[in-house]
Amino acid sequence: MSRFLRLLRGHPAAEQIVPRAGFTAWLTGLTAFAMAALAVCALAATFAAGRLADRWSSELARSSTVQVLAPAEEVDRQVTAALAALRTTPGIVSARALDMAEQEALLAPWIGTGLPLDALPVPRLIVIEETVEGPDAAALALRLTAEAPGAQYDDHTRWRRPMIAAADRLRLISGAALALILFATAAMVTLASRAALAANARVITTLRLVGAEDRFIAGAFTRRFTLRALIGAGLGAAGAALAFLFVPDVGAEGAFVTGLAPQGQEWLALAGVPLIAAITAYIATARAAKRALNTIEEA
């Protein structure tokens, strides 16, 4: 790391002596810029997908119900049977029958208050807390039919579960994109610096002819590419981050879906993007320079 920092300070003579490397240096900067911007997008997508999946998962945890509708003399037995069945079903964390007061509160918007619920043949509700995966709906329905014919499984999570799957998938894909971006950046910087070094083979042999050490030659190239990558990636990441800042937020309601913009300390992760780009560039260039110095022959 100290070597990395020393490098950024540079060697005054080497800098003037090695040619400006023109297009390849620009190419590195631009690559770093574009890749950093894309990395920030992918990172933000990963974070957002992760947040979505987390939030929806926790919402799922208490979402489904079983209604038991049976003749008054049967209903208590069936509720007990259904509870027993539910509690031994894999994918269900807990099951609990609502008492009359709770059920009344639940129905109030629909049928108003003041109804003699206990006198009416109103179905009884069992609230279930499921695991994230949830139970096998078809198997559960079959089992309930056998043990409590009046019980009906109502999977409120049905439409949310695929959303979690989708969020997970989005997280997976944006994670893969992130890995691709990192790998591609490393490969591109390697190739760009190799191209620069190969194009400068004569410069290298000439410098050797007049007694320049490896460190001197490699340093000049490495520094240039690392700086380009750092600056390019810094601008790219900042640009993309700014774009996220200025997209208006979803507002309070958005709490449910969560915004696309990074939140809290996720912003810190974005700041890591240019740093990682610079370190990647440093390692890639240093290796390319070492290779070039070993390959390019004396003349």
The residues binding another protein (CB under 8 A) are: 13-14, 16-17, 19-20, 202-203, 205-216, 293, 298-299
Stretch 168-197: interaction string toward a copy of itself, x if CB under 8 A = -xx-xxx-xx--xx-xx--xx--xx-xxx-
Give the separation between CA 95 and CA 66, rounded to whole angstroms.
9
Q: Which are the contacts of 198, defined by CB distance < 8 A and separation ≥ 6? A: 292
Give Cα separations from 47 to 83, 164, 171 (angstroms). Answer: 38, 14, 7
Q: Which of 76, 99, 162, 275 binds a copy of itself (CB under 8 A)?
A: 162
The residue (of 17 and 98) whose beta carbon lies closer to another protein is: 17
Token pair 């043949």: residue: 121
- Minimum CB separation of residue 92 from a copy of itself in Å reads 19
DSSP code for 283: H
The residue (of 87 and 202) whose beta carbon lies closer to another protein is: 202
Pair 236, 32: CB distance under 8 Å:
yes
Which residue stretch of 90-98, 165-173, 210-218, 265-273 sits at the interface with a copy of itself (rule: CB under 8 A)? Answer: 165-173
Determine the angle formed by the axes of helices 214-246 and 161-199, rounding to 10 degrees: 150
By CB under 8 A, what part of segment 10-39 binds a copy of itself?
Answer: 22-24, 26-27, 30-31, 33-34, 37-38
Q: Which of 17, 98, 107, 269 binds a copy of itself (CB under 8 A)?
A: 107
Give the three-class secondary structure for 48. helix
Which residue stretch of 7-15, 91-99, 103-111, 276-284 sits at the interface with a copy of itself (rule: CB under 8 A)? Answer: 103-111
Asked if 257 touches a copy of itself (CB under 8 A), the answer is yes
- Minimum CB separation of residue 213 from another protein in Å reads 4
- Minimum CB separation of residue 222 from another protein in Å reads 16
Give the three-class secondary structure for 150. coil
Q: For 179-192, give one letter per residue: b (16+ CB within 10 A) or e.
A: eebbeebbebbbbb
The residue (of 22 and 90) whose beta carbon lies closer to another protein is: 22
Residues written for the chain: 299
Determine the angle formed by the axes of helices 22-60 and 266-295, rounding to 10 degrees: 140
Of the candidates 143, 103, 93, 105, the one whose C-alpha atom is nearest the C-alpha of residue 123 is 103
- Minimum CB separation of residue 298 from another protein in Å reads 4
Asked if 251 touches a copy of itself (CB under 8 A), the answer is yes
Give the separation between CA 66 and CA 148, rounded to whole angstroms.
11
Give Cα separations from 57 to 172, 174, 214 (angstroms). Answer: 16, 19, 56
Asked if 69 touches a copy of itself (CB under 8 A), the answer is yes
Give the three-class secondary structure for 207. helix
Query: Residues interacting with a copy of itself, by CB under 8 A?
Result: 22-24, 26-27, 30-31, 33-34, 37-38, 41, 44-45, 67, 69, 107, 109-112, 114-115, 120-123, 152, 154, 158-159, 161-163, 165-166, 169-170, 172-174, 176-177, 180-181, 183-184, 187-188, 191-192, 194-196, 198-199, 243-244, 247, 250-251, 253-254, 256-260
